[in-house]
DNA sequence: TCACATTGCCTAGCAATGCTAGGTATGGAA
DNA sequence: TTCCATACCTAGCATTGCTAGGCAATGTGA
């Protein structure tokens, strides 16, 4: 979901995605390449992302990923799931009262 | 963390923990035994939980778990981590603006 | 009485996944 | 020419959630 979210605003390539995630999370998520690249491949295999090769302004090859229609739909679901999930966790964390109303 | 949180208020045995988690999360987390029992064993091995055998009022044997001192300390850390984590995720999800302030 | 549900515990083993630790290649700077 | 930064990749380990079983004791209904 995090990777999808990073690509959501604008298509990007792996390295830029890692930077974007780090930036947007205020440094909280500093994902290594060994995490992100396999995720990108899995998301493409699931047809949530599509990719094509580009040349950077200097001439380096880049694989640029974009959300597919299914990817956008998936993000809608995932946002909902995340809200439910985090609410549930907050509920669990916010109830440490053995006695005394 | 969820399991620790369920034991935090009062010591409990596996089955009760599962119920408590389901109840507190409003049904969002309905963890199967195959998830919870191994977790309890791992948490005890990490000395975050301690356990002892009890007899239920009817006479069935139960393993009752309680938070250790380290377990309580761990919960303090985990709450903090969770707040940071969920804030970071919210930050990531809340920024799908390519253009236009 | 005999079957079944319920409570209560356990584990083997699969599948998924995060990450470490390596590798390749190119362009620019020292 | 040597090194750093950019940019991609993967093998394989360790962890973990869960399915799918099993065991034992106690009700409960037919």
Helices then strands (H, E): number in chain A?
Answer: 4, 3
Is the pLDDT at B28 greater than 70? The verdict is: yes
Domain boundaries, chain B: 2-91
In this complex, do B9 and A88 lie within 8 Å of one another by their Cβ atoms?
Answer: no
Closest C-alpha to B8, from B48, B57, B53: B48
Q: Does A76 touch chain B (CB under 8 A)?
A: no
Can you say how many angstroms the Cα of residue B5 is from the centroid of all Cα atoms in its chain? 4
Give contacts of B87 with chain A, Cβ < 8 Å.
Answer: 28
- B2-91: CATH topology is Arc Repressor Mutant, subunit A (1.10.10)
Which tens digit of pLDDT belongs to each residue from A65-99?
A: 999 999 999 999 999 999 999 999 999 998 765 54
In this complex, do B9 and A96 lie within 8 Å of one another by their Cβ atoms?
Answer: yes
Q: Does A29 touch chain B (CB under 8 A)?
A: yes
How many whole angstroms separate alpha carbon B44 and alpha carbon B83?
25
pLDDT at residue number A97 = 58
Tell me the nearest-neighbour CA distance from B16 into chain A, angstroms. 14
Which tens digit of pLDDT belongs to each residue from A40-57?
A: 999 999 999 999 999 877
Q: How far is the CA of A27 from the C1' of C22 (A)?
A: 26
């Amino acid at each position: 979901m995090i990777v999808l979210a990073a690509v959501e605003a604008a298509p990007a390539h792996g390295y830029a995605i890692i930077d974007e995630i780090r930036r947007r999370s205020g440094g909280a998520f500093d994902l290594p390449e060994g995490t992100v690249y396999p995720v990108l491949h899995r998301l493409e295999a699931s047809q949530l992302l599509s990719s094509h090769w580009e040349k950077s302004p200097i001439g380096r090859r880049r694989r640029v990923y974009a959300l597919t229609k299914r990817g956008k739909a998936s993000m809608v679901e995932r946002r909902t799931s995340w809200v439910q999930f985090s609410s549930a966790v907050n509920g669990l964390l916010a109830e440490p009262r053995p006695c005394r109303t």
